[in-house]
Chains A and B, each alone.
Chain A
Amino acid sequence: AQKVTQAQTEISVVEKEDVTLDCVYETRDTTYYLFWYKQPPSGELVFLIRRNSFDEQNEISGRYSWNFQKSTSSFNFTITASQVVDSAVYFCALSEYSWGKLQFGAGTQVVVTP
């Protein structure tokens, strides 16, 4: 069963618009970790952010922010004032304490046009 669902296949925006990527996860563990990775056309997965299940505080880091809500099992990610360099595939991933493997969603392609 898919444990991480990214319902948006592709999002296209014009530069400077905000982009919000949805991620819904499923786990029975009380301790787990959530990640966002970016995969540009070069292919290398780049770590962006990590959140643990005990910390629901939402934060902003530069143009990135995230909204973690355990009540809805969601871990959404927002890019503010998007730039062309943000064009990439973004993956949400889950690491469960009991299972110890990083499980990825199918990814969301973000296309930012000038």
Chain B
Amino acid sequence: GAGVSQSPRYKVAKRGQDVALRCDPISGHVSLFWYQQALGQGPEFLTYFQNEAQLDKSGLPSDRFFAERPEGSVSTLKIQRTQQEDSAVYLCASSPLEWWENPQETQYFGPGTRLLVL
């Protein structure tokens, strides 16, 4: 079956520009996560959705970052007024069950969006 897909795969933005990154999770998956991966580092948690509810956004680095999942499937991560330090790979992952109750569940990752802010 289809895995997690993300678009665009690459995005170059000028500093100050707004960007929107899309994630299509595996169909039927309840949990959806966004991670930020800086060069040479492991992924860092940004935010978590259970269906359409954003239950945890403690990892979002600033109020310029905003995420939504209005219908409980596709999610969008928006970064306003991009800065050079926002350059990273943004990974989306989904999991079939509610993560809070099932932290043992495997997360399935998409290929990521590589964002470069000039």
Q: Which residue of B lies closest to A33 (CB)?
A: B104
Please give the distance in Å from B89's CB to the nearest CB on chain A: 7
Supply 19 A–B pairs (Cβ within 8 Å), ascending by A.
A43-B112, A43-B114, A44-B109, A44-B110, A44-B111, A45-B43, A47-B107, A91-B42, A97-B103, A100-B56, A100-B100, A101-B45, A102-B45, A103-B45, A104-B42, A106-B40, A106-B41, A107-B41, A107-B42
Using known A-B contacts A106-B41, A107-B42, determine if residue A100 contacts B109 with beta carbons closer than 8 Å. no
Cβ B111 vs Cβ A95 within 8 A: no
Q: Residues of A contacting B110 with CB < 8 Å?
A: 44
Identify the 9 closest CB pairs spanning chains A and B, nearest first.
Answer: A104-B42, A45-B109, A95-B103, A44-B111, A33-B104, A43-B112, A101-B45, A47-B106, A43-B111
